[in-house]
A and B are shown apart, each in its own frame.
Chain A
Amino acid sequence: MAEPSAFIVTRNLRKTFVMGRTRVHALAGIDLDIPEGTFTVIMGPSGSGKSTLLYLIGGLDRPTSGTLLVNGQDLNMLDENALAVYRRNTVGFVFQQFNLITSMTALENAAFPMRFAGIPGKERAQRARKLLELVGLETHLRHRPVEMSGGQQQRVAIARALINNPRLILADEPTGNLDTTTGFGIMQLLSNLHRDGRTVVVVTHDPRMLRFATHVLYLLDGRLVSREEYEASIQTEPTG
């Protein structure tokens, strides 16, 4: 599986949390290569470290040890400022909780990241409107999150993730708070992004999402495992 030109490369990636006196190895040595333009689904029960892995790739947290390259850039070498610029320009996040700002309209929420990129207001509004049309919310531009359904909110979040035109979309349980039909719609949207040439990494524990994936990674207790190993484990100890 080692492709030298892979978009995301990790080698012996570890993340250890200290909880009181015990150390929890959230990631216990991950080696993976995710090629550019793929739709990768990371499967794993809760507590398997899949979200931790996603946040490390997204530069929202730093690994305890190991190598982490995205687009040839060693994230360990970036200072806080450069990491913020990396998140701004290279990554678009989609969260389970949507994380919209409740007092802002759909348009304002979608355009929000561009403020930190120093882009003028007019241009921000134009691009946000275009992206909201793309996710099918052209009639909801002035709606606030409370006035929208979960699926609509997640669409706003996807528009926001796309606003700075990132090459990498990271989604943490994007369908976790949605019913099945709505969830499929969201996955379809993410899949379209992949088809446009973006690299998409989605973390989920819902096997129904696998049909969209070009690559699947199984994570158990902070380690990458084979599909068989994963399924055997799921059957013996079911998780929620």
Chain B
Amino acid sequence: MRLFDLLALIFYNLSRRKGRVALTAIGVVIGTAAVVLLVALATGLQRNATRNFAGITDLTMVQVYPKYGGEGNIMMAKPGGGAEQPSQTKLLTTQAIQELAGLEGVQMVIPRDSLRWPGRVKVGKLEAYPYVFAVDTEDLSVMGYELLDGTLKLERGTALIGESVAKSFNDPNWRPGQPQPEQPQLLGQQVRFILTRWTQEGTTVEKTIPLRIVGILKQKMGETDYAMVVRMDDLTAWNEWGNGKRINRNKEGYEMVMVKAKDSRDVTKLADTINNLGYQASTPMEFVQGINNFYTIIQIVFGGIGAIALLVAAIGIANTMTMAILERTREIGLMKAIGATNRNVMTIFLGEAAGIGLIGGLGGVLLAWGLAQVVNVLAAGYLASQAAMMGGQEAGQAAYIAPWLPLFALAFSTLVGLVSGLYPALRAATMVPVLALKYE
């Protein structure tokens, strides 16, 4: 029998019992819609969770901290005084950075250091207290920093400031009852950065450094929100002023380095390699994978709940096909008498069962798609407020139908139909033709 003829016959047989096929398919529609919608909801949740997270961190970055010897990671002070470093200690020295840069899959290594002494930004009477750090790269965009305004290009004596800290200026002499001071315009403005240290006698020494704010970093629920980013040479100079001695990067190293991987898929492996070298590496990828695993389980559980509805539908298909075979017993006998093989008969009835599954699957996917739109409209308000809370991220969808999901649902519902039709089709195929013909 030709495939086209087979399909045409299956379609014909289904079309001459439209009512019953439709009623049976409704069960599959509900089951498939339940599976698709529940999985879409789980996927939507996952996407919202990981997107908010991915928005605030660069997934290709491995953060590497130095490792200090001894138990745990605490620097051990020897009884003789003076912090002697045991041999396992791995500092992020210039050589270490070269070692890391030589690893496979590494795009670049960016040292990072922060200000060890208190500093405050002063504009007129107003003050703010950012967390001050520097990353040693000319191109700050590789850090994933996004500008609200200005430029990422840093020169000596300039700084970038986070959006949150830029809005947190206050007057130290403000008293209740006075009006709240207006936040200053910072972009392109000269500000005073006041650095503080203490002498051995305990007296406070302050140093005022003129800085020009050249860029404001967009708020994104990350470390830059409350930070001021400056050039590494500026920062080193300020720390040296505070320490009262020069910093030797070959010996003391950096507080931290960021290792940027060429491919986000290699990040976990890269972090392992770096850990094996004796440093302390961590990556947001581990966390994201944890989230993903959690939501995969949710998807499976949700899909499983939907599948129960499909199971009920499967019983409906089996029932319909069994009834059809009773009704069409003489027809089966006739088909055999005119030369249909057992396999022909089997294929026809399996095809009809699978066809009901497919029709139901199509209906289910369409229904789920429609319901997903409704859910998304209903949830849009809530998600927008949530997104605003999470730092201006775009609002996500509550139910997200991944491209593979409709295809999977169709294949699955067809398979359900096929499996349900197995027993009735087998019965039809193995009927003795003469008995089938005489069946009343």
Instruction: Give residues in A with beta carbon < 8 Å to B.
Output: 55, 58, 60-61, 80-81, 84-85, 87-89, 93, 95, 97, 99, 101, 103, 112-113, 115-118, 120-121, 160, 164
Q: Which of A84, A89, A121 makes the CB contact (< 8 A) with B336?
A: A84
B434 to chain A, nearest CB (A): 4
Instruction: Say yes or no: B338 contacts A88, CB within 8 Å.
Output: yes
Instruction: Say yes or no: B437 contacts A115, CB within 8 Å.
Output: no
Instruction: Say yes or no: B338 contacts A160, CB within 8 Å.
Output: yes
Instruction: Say yes or no: B342 contacts A101, CB within 8 Å.
Output: no
Given contacts A116-B1, A120-B2, contact A60 B437 (CB under 8 A): yes
Which A residue sits closest to B328, measured CB to CB? A101
Q: Which of B331, B339, B343, B432 makes the CB contact (< 8 A) with A113?
A: B339
Chain B residues whose C-beta falls within 8 Å of the C-beta of A116 in the assembled complex: 1, 335, 338-341, 344
The CA-CA distance from A84 to B339 in the complex, in Å, is 5
Flag B315-338 by CB within 8 Å of A: 1 or 0 each.
000000000000000110111111
Instruction: Give residues in B with beta carbon < 8 Å to A.
Output: 1-2, 5, 9, 16, 330-331, 333-344, 432-434, 437
Q: Which of A99, A112, A121 makes the CB contact (< 8 A) with B437?
A: A99
Chain A residues whose C-beta falls within 8 Å of the C-beta of B333 in the assembled complex: 60, 99
Instruction: Say yes or no: A84 contacts B1, CB within 8 Å.
Output: no
Given contacts A61-B433, A99-B334, A99-B437, contact A117 B339 (CB under 8 A): yes
Instruction: Say yes or no: B437 contacts A85, CB within 8 Å.
Output: no
The CA-CA distance from A113 to B335 in the complex, in Å, is 8
The CA-CA distance from A164 to B342 in the complex, in Å, is 19
Chain B residues whose C-beta falls within 8 Å of the C-beta of A95 in the assembled complex: 437
Chain B residues whose C-beta falls within 8 Å of the C-beta of A80 in the assembled complex: 341-342
Chain B residues whose C-beta falls within 8 Å of the C-beta of A99 in the assembled complex: 330, 333-334, 337, 437
Which among B16, B334, B337, B344 has the highest number of chain A CB atoms within 10 Å?
Answer: B337
The CA-CA distance from A89 to B341 in the complex, in Å, is 12
Chain A residues whose C-beta falls within 8 Å of the C-beta of B336 in the assembled complex: 60, 84, 87
The CA-CA distance from A95 to B1 in the complex, in Å, is 24
Which among B2, B9, B338, B433 has the highest number of chain A CB atoms within 10 Å?
Answer: B338
The CA-CA distance from A60 to B338 in the complex, in Å, is 10
B66 to chain A, nearest CB (A): 77
Chain B residues whose C-beta falls within 8 Å of the C-beta of A120 in the assembled complex: 2
Chain A residues whose C-beta falls within 8 Å of the C-beta of B434 in the assembled complex: 55, 60-61
The CA-CA distance from A55 to B438 in the complex, in Å, is 11
The CA-CA distance from A184 to B164 in the complex, in Å, is 103
Chain A residues whose C-beta falls within 8 Å of the C-beta of B437 in the assembled complex: 60, 95, 99
B60 to chain A, nearest CB (A): 58
Which A residue sits closest to B15, measured CB to CB? A103
Chain A residues whose C-beta falls within 8 Å of the C-beta of B432 in the assembled complex: 60-61
Q: Which of A61, A101, A103, A118 makes the CB contact (< 8 A) with B334?
A: A101
B168 to chain A, nearest CB (A): 79
Instruction: Say yes or no: B339 contacts A164, CB within 8 Å.
Output: yes
Which B residue sits closest to A80, measured CB to CB? B342
